[in-house]
């Protein structure tokens, strides 16, 4: 068994443990992982995070690359939030010259 790379594919709101795992023996460097992540995110816009971990034969592992997809479509962020507009208070009309003069 040779060194392999674990690829974690996570949707919006998922942790790495909840995401789908794939394995690859072809992806061995950060540049390979970056290219693969861009290709995966362009094909599937529901992917929010793609993480690559190099796993050795003895069980040791290290992170190669992690990509957060800024264009991911997830639960709750398909519609932009509405801004709440406050109603302006209607100002009282200015008193006329005669009202100011006679104090009414």
Q: pLDDT of 4-52, one tens digit each?
A: 999 999 998 888 889 999 999 999 899 999 999 999 988 988 899 999 9
Q: How many domains does the chain have?
A: 1
Tell me the three state secondary structure of residue 10: strand
Residue 98 located in a structural domain: no
Residues 41-65: pLDDT tens digits?
889 888 999 999 999 888 888 999 9
Strand (E) or helix (H) holding 6: strand 4-11
Residue 14 located in a structural domain: yes
Residue 28 located in a structural domain: yes
d(CA 31, CA 33): 5
Please indicate whether residue 2 or residue 16 has the higher confidence score (pLDDT): 16
Residue 73 located in a structural domain: no
Residue 39 located in a structural domain: yes
Residue 77 located in a structural domain: no
Residue 56 located in a structural domain: yes
d(CA 78, CA 89): 34
Residue 96 located in a structural domain: no
Instruction: Determine the structural domain holding residue 62 and report its residue range.
Output: 4-68
């Amino acid at each position: 068994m040779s060194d392999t790379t674990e690829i974690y594919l996570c949707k919006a709101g998922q942790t790495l443990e909840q995401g789908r795992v794939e394995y690859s023996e072809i992806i061995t460097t950060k540049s390979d992982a970056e290219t693969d992540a861009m290709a995966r995110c362009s094909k599937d816009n529901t992917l929010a995070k793609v993480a690559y971990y190099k796993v050795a034969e003895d069980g040791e592992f290290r992170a190669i690359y992690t990509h957060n997809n800024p264009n991911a479509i997830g639960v709750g962020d398909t519609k932009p939030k509405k801004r709440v507009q406050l109603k302006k208070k209607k100002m009282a009309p200015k008193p006329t010259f005669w009202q100011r003069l006679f104090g009414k």
